[in-house]
Amino acid sequence: MIKNSILFLFLLAGIGSFAQKTLSDYSYVVVPEQFEFLEGKDKYKTSSLTEFLFNKYGFHAYLASEAPNAKRCDGLYADIKENNSFFRTKLTVELKDCRDKIVYTGEEGVSKFKEYRKAYQDALRKAFNSIERLGVQQKDVVLTEAETETEIETEAEVKPATTPKNQSTAKSANIENLPDAKFLNYKKEDTSYLLRKTDNGYFLYEESADAKNGLILAGTVTVTTSEVQFTDDQGKTYDVYFDENQNFSVFKGETVMVYRLVR
């Protein structure tokens, strides 16, 4: 009996590591803008939340309309399956490869909320608990539009966030330190944030269970040739400094707000 239990645990560990290796070997995930069980694009912000949660847990996720120009078989294709019962909203995350083969099915997320928006978002977040445990870290997306020079980097020791001593240093921040990734996760104290790249800089979102889609816009980061600035939700502008590890600091008078990259 003990031998059988040990063998069962060993098999479970093997399945988990296999899933992690397989999903990490892909470079991106495409999220549909409408799921079959809902009417209308991004109904109840389910597509936006799915994209956010994939990015939060180590994937490079894109809505279908924003999918990168990359090899199709480098990507995964997400779907959410609904299996509701009386007074329960049940959702499951499913991933397929370019040949429409299911490569991963997550655990079911169950919500007891009656209001549709809350129910779907709660069930969706719970469905991603099993994905979080996989510890996926997808490789970089390789675009096929044009040849790009790739700098080979060695794995470096993660250093603590470095904060310049004054605002003049922030104004002359090295533009090369700015992140290239479409999405990055940050932490400030105990609060999680999502940094989303735009044409002119970045949007910074605070993760909040009280928000309709789970995210609140905390401010925008604007990049020019001479400076990087942060504008908060009150319209106030402050200097920003990105260090070599892509942690960033916002200078609010004498106060320095440090956002650390979550790797």
Same domain, 123 and 228: no
CATH code, domain with 217:
2.40.128
CB burial of residue 7 (10 Å; 0-12, 13-18, 19+): exposed
What pLDDT digit, counting tens, does each position of 231-243 carry? Answer: 998 889 988 888 8
The model's confidence at residue 174, banded by pLDDT at 50, 70 and 90, is very low
| Domain assignment present for 53 | yes
The CATH number covering residue 110 comes to 3.40.50
Is residue 161 one of the residues assigned to a domain?
no
pLDDT greater than 80 at residue 168: no
Residues 6+ apart with CB under 8 A from 188: 257, 258, 259, 260
Of the candidates 111, 134, 157, which is a domain's last residue? 134
Has residue 1 been placed in a domain? Answer: no
Please state the domain count of the chain: 2
Residue 235, CB half-sphere, CA atoms under 13 Å: how many?
0
Q: Are residues 130 and 205 in the same domain?
A: no
**pLDDT for 57:** 92
Place of tokens 């009996």: 1
pLDDT in tens, 116-160: 999 999 999 999 999 999 999 998 888 875 444 343 343 444 445
CA 19/CA 133 separation, integer angstroms: 11
0.95 exceeded by pTM: no
Q: Residue 174's domain spans which residues?
A: 167-261
